[in-house]
Amino acid sequence: MAKELKDLTKRSVNYSQWYNELVVKADLAEQADVRGCMVIKPYGYAIWEKMQSILDGMFKETGVQNAYFPLLIPKSFLSREAEHVEGFAKECAVVTHYRLKTNDTKDGVVVDPAAKLDEELIIRPTSETIIWNTYKNWIKSYRALPILCNQWCNVMRWEMRTRLFLRTSEFLWQEGHTAHATREEAEERAKLMLKIYAEFAEKYMAVPVVQGVKSETERFAGALDTYTIEAMMQDGKALQSGTSHFLGQNFGKAFDVQFLNKDNKPEYAWATSWGVSTRLMGALIMTHSDDNGLVLPPALAPLQVVIVPIYKNDEQLQAINEKVDGIVANLKGMGISVKYDNADNKRPGFKFADYELKGIPVRLVIGARDLENGTVEVMRRDTLEKETRSLDGIEEHVKALLDDMQQNIYKKAVDFRDAHIYECDDYEEFKSRIKDGGFFLCHWDGTAETEARIKEETQATIRCVPFAYEQTPGVDMVTGKPSKCRVLIARAY
């Protein structure tokens, strides 16, 4: 075990391999025995649940309600919106039959050819179509609007190459789908949800993000505008961490969702959709972790404090138990999640390493020595600093420490990102520097041709046109043609 974990030091050498091993060793997830699918293990799922509950609360504060729509979508629904079907057709899993039967040799099952469906069903890659087919029945009058629905569910996209959390055939996410009476209201909603995603990423995940709007080629299939948050991983690559789409009237028209407005005139409904997925787990891992394993922001850690006793005999353990009971109760009373690990089947050194691997923010260690002195050893996961301090007021200290760590890992991530964002006006320079990662702010002439050329020659893509960036006109880095603004270019996951 010790030997294996040391391999995590390859973070700087092979980031992808390091990431994969960390996900497995920290007990977050593993590859399933089903192509491209993932098993999320209890510890990984506990983090996801925490993210879910916080996000869900943020949505509800803006009037969003949860609902649930079917997993299976009739094939014909998908083809109603031309761009949408074009975008997803290549990665859809299709249900063609509804029954199996025993084979001729009686040692297995085969698909019963007699049970072929008249119309194939698609396993949802996203739910715009089935939801707008439903909205058609709900929306007759402007009085029914807006409709603000969200669903927590799984979707399936048959990706060629998969990676735990970042890209799997099946993944968990939330997808919000709203319907509005006016264009302005829908656009406002799309932007609002992006703001919520950005706030969640920065405040809770401690992951700084760049907010912006996608170029036409990177846009969601069927959207008029796609807003995005882009995070920078420790290898300098970008990770698209959440998107919010302004869909215009595309789906309203495709599914004939018309309502009578205040002037008694028929009008098509305006739409948005927005989602974040278990990919956020990948962002969390790749933003903060180090060679000792996971580093979790206290706000999302399923377990914030672990207490480990060190003892030579039962009397010592008894004495420590009594001391710790009070601390545990006090911490819990302060809303801090804490575990006292006095299991005697693991040695202290093993526990230390294991809890570090899992990213538990604070570790308290109490031994016979501490009992005598009335002290405790406190270790913080982000800096790995150890400090021996008095047991008096330890609870308040832990509370302050958790807050400080949340700030500290965010600041560390911001500093790292800011140190790797560059303005660049020379394509040759860009080509040589993009290899080392980082975000590049470059002038772009706005054409898909230039965008494609950059991708072809450097594997980098236009991540977004950032909102919060003071823009001045210039000339395109590649073609020298006039440019209205700088765009964010990076290699991405």
Partner RNA sequence: CGGGGUAUAGCGCAGUUGGUAGCGUUCCUGGUUUGGGACCAGGCGGUCGCGUGUUCGAGUCACGCUGCCCCGACCA
H-helix segments, 204-258: 250-254
Q: Tell which one of 150, 168, 178, 215 touches RNA (CB under 7 A).
A: 168
Min separation Cβ 292 and RNA, Å: 6
Min separation Cβ 2 and RNA, Å: 4
Determine contact, residues 251/272, Cβ cutoff 8 Å: no
> According to the binding rule CB under 7 A, does residue 98 interact with RNA?
no
CA distances for 239 relative to 127, 161, 166, 491, angstroms: 23, 16, 9, 9
| Per-residue binder mask for RNA (CB under 7 A), 291-330, x = binder | -xx----------------xxx------------------
Count the Cβ atoms, other than its own, within 10 Å of residue 100.
Answer: 12
> According to the binding rule CB under 7 A, does residue 347 interact with RNA?
yes
DSSP H helix total and E strand total for the chain: 15, 27
> According to the binding rule CB under 7 A, does residue 374 interact with RNA?
no
Q: Which is nearer to RNA, 337 or 342 (CB)?
A: 342
Q: How many residues bind RNA (CB under 7 A)?
A: 53
Min separation Cβ 433 and RNA, Å: 20
Of the ranges 41-49, 330-338, 363-371, 416-424, which one interacts with RNA (CB under 7 A)?
A: 363-371
Distance separating alpha carbons of residues 394 and 330, to the nearest angstrom: 10
Q: Tell which one of 234, 243, 250, 406 touches RNA (CB under 7 A).
A: 243
Of the ranges 106-114, 184-192, 253-261, 377-385, which one interacts with RNA (CB under 7 A)?
A: 377-385
Q: For 307-343, b where at least 16 C-beta lie within 10 A, e where not — what string?
A: bbbbbeeeeebeebeebbeebbeebeeeebebebeee
Q: Which is nearer to RNA, 372 or 470 (CB)?
A: 372
Min separation Cβ 416 and RNA, Å: 21
Min separation Cβ 363 and RNA, Å: 7
Radius of gyration of the chain (CA): 26
341: nearest Cα among 379, 303, 368: 303
Q: Which is nearer to RNA, 90 or 481 (CB)?
A: 90
> According to the binding rule CB under 7 A, does residue 220 interact with RNA?
yes
Determine contact, residues 276/153, Cβ cutoff 8 Å: no
- Within a 13 Å sphere around the CA of 13, how many CA atoms are in the beta-carbon half? 7
Site for RNA in 39-58 (CB under 7 A): none
Count the Cβ atoms, other than its own, within 10 Å of residue 79.
Answer: 15
Of the ranges 61-69, 251-259, 381-389, 430-438, which one interacts with RNA (CB under 7 A)?
A: 381-389
Q: Which is nearer to RNA, 147 or 205 (CB)?
A: 205
> According to the binding rule CB under 7 A, does residue 384 interact with RNA?
yes
> According to the binding rule CB under 7 A, does residue 167 interact with RNA?
yes
Question: Mind giving me the DSSP string for 385-425?
Answer: -EEEEESTTHHHHHHHHHHHHHHHHHHHHHHHHHTTEEE--
Distance separating alpha carbons of residues 210 and 488, to the nearest angstrom: 9
Strand duo 270-277 + 238-248: pairing: antiparallel
Q: Tell which one of 175, 290, 370, 395 touches RNA (CB under 7 A).
A: 370
Q: Tell which one of 54, 353, 421, 485 touches RNA (CB under 7 A).
A: 353
Distance separating alpha carbons of residues 133 and 77, to the nearest angstrom: 8
> According to the binding rule CB under 7 A, does residue 240 interact with RNA?
yes
Q: Tell which one of 357, 394, 488, 489 touches RNA (CB under 7 A).
A: 357
Distance separating alpha carbons of residues 381 and 356, to the nearest angstrom: 7
> According to the binding rule CB under 7 A, does residue 350 interact with RNA?
yes
Q: Which is nearer to RNA, 294 or 331 (CB)?
A: 294
Grouping H, G, I as helix, E, B as strand and the rest as coil, residue 106 is: coil
Distance separating alpha carbons of residues 451 and 442, to the nearest angstrom: 12
Q: Which is nearer to RNA, 20 or 182 (CB)?
A: 20
Distance separating alpha carbons of residues 233 and 283, to the nearest angstrom: 7
Q: Tell which one of 225, 235, 354, 382 touches RNA (CB under 7 A).
A: 354
Of the ranges 51-59, 93-101, 162-170, 421-429, which one interacts with RNA (CB under 7 A)?
A: 162-170
Strand partners, 111: 100
Distance separating alpha carbons of residues 348 and 239, to the nearest angstrom: 37
> According to the binding rule CB under 7 A, does residue 435 interact with RNA?
no
> According to the binding rule CB under 7 A, does residue 369 interact with RNA?
yes
Min separation Cβ 181 and RNA, Å: 29
Q: Tell which one of 153, 368, 414, 421 touches RNA (CB under 7 A).
A: 368
Torsion of CA 455, 458, 462, 463, to 10 degrees: 120
Q: Which is nearer to RNA, 62 or 383 (CB)?
A: 383
Kindly report the three-state secondary structure assignment for every residue of 151-212. Answer: EEEEEECCCCCCECCCECCEEEEEEEEEEECCHHHHHHHHHHHHHHHHHHHHHCCCCCEEEE
> According to the binding rule CB under 7 A, does residue 2 interact with RNA?
yes
Sites of contact with RNA (CB under 7 A): 1-2, 5-6, 31, 35, 87, 90-91, 157, 159-161, 166-169, 171, 218, 220, 240, 243, 277-279, 292-293, 310-312, 344, 347-350, 352-354, 356-357, 363, 365-370, 377, 379, 384, 386, 388, 493
